[in-house]
Structures are given as structure tokens and as C-alpha cells.
Amino acid sequence: MKTVTFEEFENAKLEIIRGVEYHEDTSDTEYGTTIKTYSTEKNGSFYEVTEHNKPGVIEFWSTKHPKSRYYDDRSREEIIAQYEERIGGRRF
């Protein structure tokens, strides 16, 4: 899955919602994710999924571009710290 910049993420969302009326829906799942949907009559829908255990990471796609992409705003140090926390602080 492709990782993109914030600008690419924003442009993908704006491709769907810019200049048209849209409806935003947000729901939390029992699996620890938040799903946001931006729906329009004219341009289709844009979807964002954020996992609660991966703050700063958003998986997204749209009806115009159905292939999933990731936006990750974490620094290298934050990513390493997150994985260390998952494995109980052990270093390899």
C-alpha cells in the first residue's frame, strides 16, 4: 500500500468534496477504528479509517480512486517508540 504526503491526502479528499455539498459521517467500531465518510451526490465518496492504536496514520480511498493509500504523520522516532511499546520495550 502506498504512503503519501499530507498534501496528497488533502488533494484526494478535496477531489471529492471541493465546491460541492457533502455529508460527513463518523463512526467508531468495536475493533478500535474510527471511520469517516464524506459523501456527495456529484463526486462520490471519500473514506478515512484511523486505528486508535496508530494515532497519526490514516488509511483512505474514494469512489474515484478505490486503491487504499496511507498518510502517516509520525516521525521516525515516534514509529520506533510505538513498536517498542508494542513489544514491551524490548530492543533487538
Q: Which residues, in sequence order, are CB contacts of 78 under 8 Å at separation 6+?
A: 56
**What count of residues does the chain have?**
92
Task: Report whether pLDDT(89) > 60.
Answer: no
Asked whether the beta carbons of 48 and 56 are under 8 A apart, the reply is no
pTM of the model as a whole: 0.78
Interval 4-51: pLDDT, tens: 989 999 999 999 999 999 999 999 988 889 999 999 999 999 999 998
Rounded CA separation 56/74 (Å): 6
Bridge partners for 85 per DSSP = none
Rounded CA separation 38/33 (Å): 17
The domain locations on the chain are 2-86
Average pLDDT value over all residues in the chain: 87
pLDDT at 42: 96
